[in-house]
């Protein structure tokens, strides 16, 4: 099984380099050893090689990356032998530093460049391989280096990017955030801690009017607001003479997001007329001009560097995130970089007469990180169905040091069971099962819902190992996935008060008898059914007597200490946001789980509630989730509705309204929400058509029985070449339960949390055989398993978090489900 989170596409695709050139198979690229850049650091008079374990971010750097100009000169010269007219598209190599916002850049560039960029991860290609595509095959016109966790001083964080910035002196490059810091670092600037970490917050930026900021206003109150995600900065005082500052902001200036009019702007405001302090390096060289350095003098200490350019190379860097949904004029900056690229090649190729034609193909080469497995980790998966019931227990897992397949237990409705080993994992199995169904779409043309039968159940958090995570540190007591196959179903349309009876059957078979019998039973129902259920509830209440309350997995002091650990990781640039969680548990005796669920639903109604009962596993789930993880409908529209930002309800109408407004205008909660919105845009961007990912609703406040929550909606159009399960793999686990960047954040959380999240933080829902699905996020949920009730809860830790407040928010989220259970004592 491909173990990367970016593994959803075939590597046997074409790359539009020179005319007629195609790569039929680039799998050989994946087998090469990963590149690691060795840098020497100097601190306190001692010089030594960095081993990558410690991140000496305050060190002076001298990068020992050399190349032979004579050997490469002929190939570089040949690269100039192209037509002088501008092409209809620009081909970008996008280097991903294992970030969770890279595919937002991908979406932007796909539209602006006229062709999707090629995405590789920073340890995917050796320098020789990159050189081959860039210079020998002329496959790319420019390079964009993505954001990412960590520091450019750490080879494992930055990969090949330092070599690219030093050796590709004649190729336009744009570095974003970490890529911006790498541009400074590789030329000798120091990378230091910012005066405070800024993540998911907006600042107004001033710039000098260079070409990268053409048609972008500058200065306070002119509308150029950008989103920042960084804990580290380039020290302005250490900037070498070859790097020129082009943008900056106040060190203490951040702004709250104040409404939907603030995001998505592109050329809305008339650009402020700014005198250019210096000439772009491209124009300076071509026109024999000269670049002037702007002397900040005493102002340097009060400003944070937001942009730089190289004085003689077409290299640019921006510390902020132009791809964020809340950055104004972000698209314009990417458009300007395309124009910089086109102008650069047009001017510098003007002396060459030999021409070659641009390829008119589409750039569809995708190379993703694939890590070899060294051992198998057995993943516990079950499938239950009326046709295929399921039971099965997992066999013992490995030590969690790597990912692998798992054991699948199947049981049919007659009780016949078998256990098989899935080498490629459960999600691959589910994908093949769903793709195997054949059906006539016309049969269900008029149904007002998407579920027409298929798999109903849950995916546990630990299946993250099938979605890019290297390993699970903790072992779940419950199966990692459990599903029924529903071939006969009754669907209640609450909106229109209609009831539908559906049945799946194989060709040349009939299920009319079941349909007739079910219709007769439904028509005979009356109010006595509800009364019988209430009596049944009362009966079971007397059997569940156990007065012990819920015991927290961690004490208040321990949880607060964990929050502080998260804050330290954020300060060091390892994460922007960490969604820390814990568990509360309570021993129980015999208990009517359906009655508990109905009680929970009455006290805490929620749009994505669910009740699942896997009796043979002594497992029941009572879920009152308000959050949708991901939905795919029949129109191939993907939708995510992450929740970030929660506050309790007020005792009076006036207090309640005040608390709602407090949440709506809280800079901290806005930052939490924005970070996850950008993350979900990224996840959808992996599998959606270029330009289709959008945010119709940003930071709405929704109210529930015990809390107000901040909710956003992200949508996109699924690409035709990806499946329903591909979409889930691209986004699982839900970003609101992990933080960002997702992979690094999950690794950190695994090291802090003391037990497996199990079903909590996973998702519950359906996969219909017609390739639609709807899945929630498992929160506000009671898990009943082997005489124990457990409730998971947590919250997003960001730089603005207060440890004591985070503990109180975590407890608040357990209130509704824990009270429902205690009611049964």
Beta bridge partners of 491: 500
Q: ∠ at Cα 631 (627, 636), nearest 5°?
A: 155
> Cα dihedral angle (723, 726, 730, 736), rounded to 10 degrees?
80
Q: Please name the residue that has the structure tokens 């998966």.
A: 381
Q: What is the 3-state secondary structure (H, E, C) of 296-362?
A: CHHHHHHEEEEEEEECCCCEEEECCECCCCCCCCHHHHHHHHHHHHHHHHHHHCCCCCCCCCECCCC
The whole-angstrom separation of Cα 112 and Cα 126 is 28
Q: Could you say which DSSP state residue 682 is in?
A: H
Q: Tell me how crowded residue 410 is: count the other CB atoms within 10 A of its CB.
A: 20
Q: Tell me how crowded residue 402 is: count the other CB atoms within 10 A of its CB.
A: 18
CB 570 within 8 A of CB 150: no
* Tokens linked to 222: 């002119």
The whole-angstrom separation of Cα 555 and Cα 810 is 12
177, 467, 623, 727: which is the annotated catalytic residue? Answer: 177
The whole-angstrom separation of Cα 301 and Cα 172 is 30
Q: Tell me how crowded residue 279 is: count the other CB atoms within 10 A of its CB.
A: 17
CB 66 within 8 A of CB 38: no
Helix axes 528-541, 593-603, angle to 10 degrees: 110
Strands 379-384 and 481-486: parallel
Cβ burial 86-104 (10 Å sphere, 16+ → b, else e): ebebbbbbbbbbbbbbbbb
CB 798 within 8 A of CB 563: no
108, 129, 323, 466: which is the annotated catalytic residue? Answer: 323
Would you give the distance in Å from CA 331 to the centre of its chain?
Answer: 20
HSE-CB at 543 with a 13 A cutoff on CA atoms is 12
The whole-angstrom separation of Cα 280 and Cα 244 is 10
293 is catalytic: no
Q: Tell me how crowded residue 271 is: count the other CB atoms within 10 A of its CB.
A: 18
Beta bridge partners of 641: 628
180, 199, 321, 599: which is the annotated catalytic residue? Answer: 321
From the list 644, 671, 675, the residue with the least C-alpha distance to 742 is 675
Q: Please name the residue that has the structure tokens 């809305």.
A: 268
Q: Which residues have C-beta within 8 Å of that of residue 411, sequence separation ≥ 6?
A: 384, 388, 389, 390, 391, 392, 417, 616
Instruction: Give strand ranges (E) for 84-207.
Output: 92-96, 118-121, 142-145, 173-176, 191-204, 206-207
602 is catalytic: no
Q: Please name the residue that has the structure tokens 């209640």.
A: 492
CB 149 within 8 A of CB 741: yes
Q: Tell me how crowded residue 473 is: count the other CB atoms within 10 A of its CB.
A: 18
> Cα dihedral angle (67, 73, 76, 77), rounded to 10 degrees?
170
Would you give the distance in Å from CA 99 to the centre of its chain?
Answer: 8
433 is catalytic: no
* Tokens linked to 526: 């009356």
Which positions are catalytic? 177, 321, 323
């Amino acid at each position: 099984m491909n173990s990367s989170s970016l593994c959803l596409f075939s590597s046997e695709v074409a790359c539009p380099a020179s005319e007629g050139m195609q790569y039929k198979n680039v799998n050989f690229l994946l087998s090469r050893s990963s590149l690691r850049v060795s840098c020497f650091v100097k601190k306190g008079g001692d010089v030594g090689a960095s081993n990558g374990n410690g991140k000496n971010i305050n060190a002076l750097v001298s990068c020992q990356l050399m190349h032979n100009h004579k050997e490469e000169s002929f190939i570089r010269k040949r690269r100039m032998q192209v037509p002088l007219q501008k092409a209809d598209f620009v081909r970008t190599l996008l280097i991903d530093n294992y970030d969770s916002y890279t595919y937002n850049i991908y979406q932007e560039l796909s539209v602006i460049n006229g062709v999707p960029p090629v995405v590789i991860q920073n340890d995917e290609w050796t320098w020789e391989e990159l050189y081959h595509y860039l210079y020998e095959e002329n496959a790319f016109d420019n390079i964009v280096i993505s954001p990412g966790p960590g520091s450019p001083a750490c080879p494992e964080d930055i990969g090949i990017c330092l070599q690219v910035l030093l050796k590709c002196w004649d190729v336009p490059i744009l570095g974003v955030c970490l890529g911006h810091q790498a541009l400074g670092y590789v030329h000798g600037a120091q990378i230091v801690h910012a005066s405070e970490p800024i993540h998911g917050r907006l600042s107004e930026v001033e710039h000098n009017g260079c070409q990268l900021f053409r048609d972008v206003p500058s200065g306070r109150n002119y509308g150029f607001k950008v989103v920042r995600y960084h804990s580290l900065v380039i020290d302005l005082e250490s900037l070498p003479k070859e790097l020129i500052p082009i943008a900056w902001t106040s060190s203490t200036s951040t702004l709250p997001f104040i409404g939907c009019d603030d995001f998505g702007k592109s050329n809305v405001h008339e650009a402020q007329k700014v005198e250019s302090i210096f000439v772009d390096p491209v124009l300076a060289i071509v026109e024999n001009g000269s670049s002037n350095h702007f002397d900040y003098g005493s102002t340097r200490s009060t400003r944070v560097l937001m942009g730089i350019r190289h004085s003689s190379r077409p290299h640019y860097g921006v510390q902020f995130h132009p791809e964020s949904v809340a950055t104004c004029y972000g698209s314009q900056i990417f458009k300007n970089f395309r124009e910089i690229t086109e102008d650069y090649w047009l001017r510098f190729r003007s002396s060459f007469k030999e021409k070659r034609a641009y390829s008119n193909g589409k750039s569809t080469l995708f190379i993703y990180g694939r890590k070899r497995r060294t051992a198998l980790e057995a993943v516990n998966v079950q499938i239950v169905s009326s046709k295929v019931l399921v039971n099965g227990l997992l066999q013992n897992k490995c030590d969690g040091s790597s990912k692998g397949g798992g054991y699948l237990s199947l049981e049919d409705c007659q009780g016949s069971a078998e256990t098989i080993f899935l080498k490629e994992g459960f999600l691959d199995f589910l994908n093949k099962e769903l793709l195997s169904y054949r059906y006539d779409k016309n049969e269900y043309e008029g149904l007002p819902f998407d579920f027409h039968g298929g798999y109903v159940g849950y995916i546990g958090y630990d299946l993250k190992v099938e979605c890019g995570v290297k390993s699970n540190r903790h072992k779940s007591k419950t199966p990692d996935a459990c599903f029924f196959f529903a071939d006969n179903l009754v669907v209640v349309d609450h909106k229109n008060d209609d009831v539908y009876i559906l049945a799946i059957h194989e060709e040349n078979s009939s299920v009319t008898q079941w349909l007739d019998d079910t219709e007769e039973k439904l028509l005979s129902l009356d109010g006595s059914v509800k009364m019988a259920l209430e009596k049944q509830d009362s009966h079971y209440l007397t059997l569940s007597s156990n007065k012990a309350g819920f015991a927290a997995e961690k004490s208040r002091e321990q949880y607060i200490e964990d929050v502080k650990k998260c804050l330290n990781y954020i300060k060091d640039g390892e994460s922007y946001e960490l969604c820390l969680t814990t568990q509360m548990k309570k021993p129980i005796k015999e208990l009517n789980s359906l009655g508990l669920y109905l009680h929970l639903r009455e006290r805490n109604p929620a749009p994505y509630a669910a009740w699942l009962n896997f009796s043979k596993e002594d497992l029941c789930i009572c879920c009152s989730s308000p959050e949708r993880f991901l939905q795919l409908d029949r129109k191939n529209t993907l939708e995510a509705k992450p929740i970030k930002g929660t506050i309790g309800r007020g005792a009076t109408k006036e207090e309640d309204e005040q608390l709602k407004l407090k949440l709506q205008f809280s800079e901290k909660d806005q930052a939490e929400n924005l970070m996850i919105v950008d993350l979900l845009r990224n996840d959808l961007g992996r599998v959606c058509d270029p330009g289709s990912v959008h945010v119709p609703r940003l930071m709405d406040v929704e109210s529930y029985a015990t809390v107000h929550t901040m909710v956003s909606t992200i949508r996109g159009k699924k690409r035709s070449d990806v499946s329903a399960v591909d979409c889930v793999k691209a986004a699982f686990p839900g970003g609101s339960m992990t933080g960002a960047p997702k992979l690094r954040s999950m690794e950190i959380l695994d090291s802090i949390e003391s037990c497996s999240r199990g079903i909590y933080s996973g998702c519950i829902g359906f996969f219909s055989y017609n390739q639609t699905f709807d899945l929630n996020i498992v929160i506000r949920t009671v898990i009943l398993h082997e005489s124990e009730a457990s409730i998971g809860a947590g919250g997003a830790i960001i730089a603005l978090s207060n440890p004591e407040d985070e503990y109180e928010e975590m407890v608040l989220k357990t209130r509704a489900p824990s009270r429902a259970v205690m009611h049964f004592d």
